[in-house]
Structure 1
Amino acid sequence: MNLTPHRRPAYRDATVLRWLTAYALSLIGDAVFMVALGFAAQEVAGPAQVGMVMAAGAVPRALLMLGGGVVADRFGPGKVVIGSDTVRCVIVVGIAAALTLASPGLWLLVAAAVLFGVVDALFLPAVGALPPRLAAMDQIGRIQGLRLLAIRTSWIVGPPLGGLAMAYGGAAAALAAAGLLFALSVPLLMTLRLRSLPTDAQPSSTTPHSARGELVDGLRYIRRHPVIGPLMVSGAMSELGTNGLLSVGLMLLSQHQGWGPSGYGWILGAFGLGQAGCATFLAVKGRVPRAGLVQNMMLVAGSTAVGALAFMPTLSAAMGMALLSGLLCGMCGGLAIALIQTSAEPRYLGRVTSAMSITGVGLTPLSLPLFGAAIDAWGAQPVFVVGAGLSVLGAVPALSSTAVRRAQLPRLPGRGDTGQPAAVSAQS
């Protein structure tokens, strides 16, 4: 007789769905906050100052991200997620109140952006370290698919919602709406029942006690890990090569080709639709055989498709190529994150997640002006080829590792293995 209880897939698990809802609310709140912050800055300053306000939060977020991973590992990601999301709510509501009661200067908006960036440096590593505590390891692929869906949803819903709030009540109303979204996410996070991981009950006598020691220990662990290290290098090269192409590169390409802002929007929409389709596939399928090898094949194919965007003769052809790029890049990213999270020791999850995020939120934004200047000097096609080539080269460190080529996502447990460690509260 099989005594193993039926394992619900992640998309039917109540804990995962509560986390997903809270995560989506926070992401939409982020998008609304950025819209409100930009328009609030525009009301009191010129274009250069608007850019300064919008970028102010990126600097502390990039500088403190690795430290945020140390905090998540030391105090537990559940506590850090709840605390940081609460503080984000307070910051945003406080700025909304200030805009309602007075006409604050530019300094207040800059301070708000900086504070928000500091708290984000805690929130992002912690929320990224939660998936292994939400369900068994064999469900991580599905959870990453659901996470990608939440991200795509926030990009679709957030900016229009922020614009609508701005139209009816100005920046104060938009900030209040962002604060409400954060406020709704916090109770959901507090109700989560997180799984206990193997090292939770083990003493940490072998772990350095100082924050600096823990940070160095985490970086050393990442560098020496046969799967995580190569995938980190691969992901960094891919993001540096393609993110600039998919933002400022596509914007300038659309202008040059005569497709205009609407064409740019349609191309980005097609790319997002491809990523959403891939996210749905991962959420339902959960496990892809030979994930390490497939991830790198998707990296090469997806990077090539992104580079090919500059050679599309018509808007419809560019949309088709963008759709294909979104599918391939979505599969590549989803599998990479799932492989890293299932390979990492639980006590390093926060630091691993923060290192994973540092390229996207720290290095990539700094590269955007370089892409713009290069396209202005040499045209879109050569820059798209070089950027895509850098991303393709990201497969070299990964495929050079036998461990990555053979990496697999966990299988479903066999008979008699429930795969369900004891649950603990979200505050752990």
Structure 2
Amino acid sequence: MHEEIRIHDKRILVRICASGISVLGSQFFVIAIAVIAVQNVGPVGFSLILITRAIPRIALLIFGGVVVDRFGPVRLVAAAEFLSAAISLSLGLLSLITVPKLSLLLLASCCFGVIRAVADPAEGAIAPYVLANEDLPRYQGLLLGVQRSATVVGAAAGGVVIAAGGVAVGFFVDALTFAVSGGAVLGLRHVAASKKGKGADRAGLWKEARAGLQLVWSNRLLRSLTLLALGMEFSLQGPIMVGMPVLCMDRGWGTRAIGALLSCYSVGSIMGSFAIASVGKRLTKVGVAVSIILLPAGSCLAVMGLTFALPMAIASMALIGILSGVVNSLLVPLLQTSCDRAYIGRLMSVATLGVSGLTPLSLAIFGILIEVNGPTSAFVCGACGLGCLALFAFSANRQASGGWNGLK
């Protein structure tokens, strides 16, 4: 018999809050690295630091999922948080003595990339190990809401604190938040151990990774949900991140409008995530809800690109944020409950890898589209993409046995 805990258990609430604290601290780290890079190694050096972190993370994500399925997510997340804390603490102590050299920053960045290749799928796999399935939407809504709130607060606080205390303080804050998060995760280790599945068959890393990819592609429900999540990411990221700033300048709204629109999107996504946290247990027709929500999201994206009134654009961006927050808070639990726990780490690694690869591709494609046809075309194309995804979701939901409603 395994220990059953629910969303209101204090260990779950501590884990969610600690995750938000860790995300807040990560903003301090990003700002500290940016300050060092701009002042001492230049923009090319800063780009190298970012690339050095991204490449090992993307290259090793699939294998990271295998490691999660072999050893379970909780201890891996805790180990990743404590290792990250040690790296940030070392950089902070070094910054008190001298300015870290580019070679050392590159090494630290590469280590973080390797750590995240395991930690990212492990964090996505924790909830199915410790919670009842019907609590997963509420957990995901709370987690996303807290993490996005921490991103907004951390970016603002990090700039002020580092400006006053220096980059070493930024590294120390990051190390402290990593340690807090790691300690909170360890509080779930006994629950996760009691619910541990059979684990991955020891057939070699590559064969196990390929088995995970084959599972996602051969299972109609997993394939549909994964494609839907990736399609939504592709349709939104390009118009919002590339098209929106260009649209503001094209309409004569100015740079303040860029900040206002991005803030509305962030606040909206936080509200959407917390909305699922409050009503998630009462949801019964999840697949139908996802299909329906994508249609107004696409309509708002089209309005955003066609309107010349800033208040209308602000309202549309806020609604897009709310609806995307709702959909993201529903799709992840659907993925988690549609997969055997023995493969959950590999499933999360495939989803994370897809988002990591599609985001820059979306930015590049929509950037070219804007250059050729202007910013309105990006929003219209993104809206058409969301409309097609709504039809795809409705069709896939009808074909699925029992629909996408089985958070049981």
AA aligned to 2:110 is: V
In structure 1, distance between residues paired with 2:195 and 2:172: 40
| Counterpart in the other structure of 1:416 | none
Change (3 A) 1:180 1:18: same
In structure 2, distance between residues paired with 1:53 and 1:194: 37
| Counterpart in the other structure of 1:37 | 33
- CA contact 1:73–1:349 (8 Å) conserved in 2: yes
| Counterpart in the other structure of 1:398 | 393
Listed as ranges, the gaps of 5+ residues in structure 2 are none
Change (3 A) 1:201 1:272: closer
- CA contact 1:15–1:193 (8 Å) conserved in 2: no
Question: Out of 227, 234, 253, which is 2:228 matched to?
Answer: 234
> What TM-score, normalized to structure 2?
0.91
| Counterpart in the other structure of 1:272 | 266
Change (3 A) 1:103 1:327: closer
In structure 2, distance between residues paired with 1:203 and 1:172: 41
Change (3 A) 1:381 1:154: same
Q: Deviations over 1:136-183 (max 9, x none)?
A: 111011101111112221221111121122211222221221111112
In structure 2, distance between residues paired with 1:307 and 1:214: 43
In structure 2, distance between residues paired with 1:312 and 1:114: 44
Listed as ranges, the gaps of 5+ residues in structure 1 are 1-6, 412-428
Q: Secondary structure at the match of 1:400?
A: helix
> What TM-score, normalized to structure 1?
0.87
Counterpart mapping for 1:71-82 below 5 A:
71-82=67-78
| Counterpart in the other structure of 1:383 | 378
AA aligned to 1:78 is: V
In structure 1, distance between residues paired with 2:78 and 2:316: 40
Q: Find out whether 1:97 has 2:108 as its counterpart.
A: no
- CA contact 1:398–1:404 (8 Å) conserved in 2: no
- CA contact 1:69–1:350 (8 Å) conserved in 2: yes
| Counterpart in the other structure of 2:351 | 356
Question: Out of 40, 59, 62, which is 2:58 matched to?
Answer: 62
Question: Out of 273, 278, 284, which is 1:289 matched to?
Answer: 284
CA drift at 1:296: 2.1
Change (3 A) 1:74 1:326: same
In structure 2, distance between residues paired with 1:405 and 1:136: 20
CA drift at 1:80: 0.8
In structure 2, distance between residues paired with 1:235 and 1:174: 34
In structure 2, distance between residues paired with 1:56 and 1:203: 31
| Counterpart in the other structure of 1:142 | 138
Q: Secondary structure at the match of 2:220?
A: coil
Question: Out of 81, 88, 92, which is 2:84 matched to?
Answer: 88
Q: Secondary structure at the match of 1:319?
A: helix
AA aligned to 1:218 is: G
- CA contact 1:295–1:332 (8 Å) conserved in 2: yes
Q: Find out whether 1:155 has 2:159 as its counterpart.
A: no
In structure 2, distance between residues paired with 1:46 and 1:267: 30
| Counterpart in the other structure of 1:419 | none
| Counterpart in the other structure of 1:112 | 108
In structure 1, distance between residues paired with 2:403 and 2:154: 39
CA drift at 1:209: 2.0
More helix by share: 2
In structure 2, distance between residues paired with 1:111 and 1:362: 23
Question: Out of 6, 10, 13, which is 1:14 matched to?
Answer: 10
In structure 2, distance between residues paired with 1:148 and 1:358: 18
- Paired residues in the alignment total 402
Change (3 A) 1:229 1:308: same
- CA contact 1:292–1:404 (8 Å) conserved in 2: no
CA drift at 1:215: 0.6
| Counterpart in the other structure of 1:221 | 215
Q: Secondary structure at the match of 1:246?
A: helix
Q: Deviations over 1:379-402 (max 9, x none)?
A: 100122223323433345433331
| Counterpart in the other structure of 1:122 | 118
Q: Deviations over 1:313-342 (max 9, x none)?
A: 222211100111112111211111111111
AA aligned to 1:387 is: G
- CA contact 2:78–2:185 (8 Å) conserved in 1: yes
